[in-house]
Amino acid sequence: MSLDREHVLRAAAALLTRKATASMDEIAKAAGVSRATLHRHFSGRDALVRALEDHGIAEFERALDEARPEEGDAAEAVRRLIARSEPVAGFLAFLFTENQLYEAGINEGWNRLDIRVQALFRRGQEEGVFRLDLTPAWLTEALYGLIGAGAWAVQDGRVAAKDHTRMVSELLLGGAQRRMER
């Protein structure tokens, strides 16, 4: 993929996450290119949004692949997934905002990934690592919510970027309460 295209996508994701009604004009300006260029890269607004979704899904898939969710301790695998997702958290935040993913018959690509993440949590439960009273579906959803919240918090400067992975992982895996045995 051309660097240009990637750069435009990144800017578009950031803007559309904050302001879903942004016009093509605003998107072009935010990306620092002209309207014409924007239209040459993406044939239209719908195409841009679809490209954004596809890119986010592809990147998350790569993160998931690299995290090797089937290997080793499930908790460690979750940690790896969060760490790998961090660089593309902006795209993920856009995806989570775009709830239409779930609406229009559920996006095939995303669905596939969703199942793999749920499988990871299920494996963790079966291996006695994760609690049984929280469903894999909810743990998956919570993972998304925390990654999104983390991305926003970083973007708004409320937490440091370097802490993103640790904070999300710790909260998801360990929870907020102090452990007695520590």
Residues that bind its own copies in the complex, under the rule CB under 8 A? 17-21, 75, 78, 97, 99-100, 102-103, 121, 124, 128-131, 133-135, 137-139, 141-142, 144-146, 148-150, 152-153, 156, 158-159, 163, 167, 170-181
- Measure the CA–CA gap between 48 and 114, rounded to whole angstroms: 23
Q: Which is nearer to DNA, 37 or 111 (CB)?
A: 37
Residue 176 burial (CB count, 10 A) = 6
Residue 70 burial (CB count, 10 A) = 11
Q: Which is nearer to DNA, 34 or 100 (CB)?
A: 34
Q: Tell me if 7 contacts DNA by CB under 7 A.
A: no
Coil vs helix vs strand at 92? helix
Q: Tell me if 43 contacts DNA by CB under 7 A.
A: yes
Q: In the bound complex, what is the minimum distance in angstroms from residue 36's beta carbon to its own copies?
A: 15
Binding segment for DNA (CB under 7 A), chosen from 28-36, 90-98, 110-118, 163-171, is 28-36
Q: Amino acid identity, residue 89?
A: A
Q: In the bound complex, what is the minimum distance in angstroms from residue 51's beta carbon to DNA?
A: 12
Q: In the bound complex, what is the minimum distance in angstroms from residue 145's beta carbon to its own copies?
A: 3
139: partner contacted, choices DNA, its own copies, none (Cβ within 5-8 A by kind): its own copies
- Measure the CA–CA gap between 25 and 133, rounded to whole angstroms: 48
Q: Which two tokens stand for residue 47?
A: 């195409």
Residue with token string 């907020």? 176
Determine which residue in the list 6, 7, 20, 34 makes contact with DNA, applying CB under 7 A.
34
Q: Tell me if 4 contacts DNA by CB under 7 A.
A: yes
- Measure the CA–CA gap between 40 and 73, rounded to whole angstroms: 46
135: partner contacted, choices DNA, its own copies, none (Cβ within 5-8 A by kind): its own copies
Residue 34 burial (CB count, 10 A) = 12
Task: For residue 179, count CB atoms less than 10 angstroms from its CB and return exposed for 0-12, middle for 13-18, buried for 19 or more.
Answer: exposed
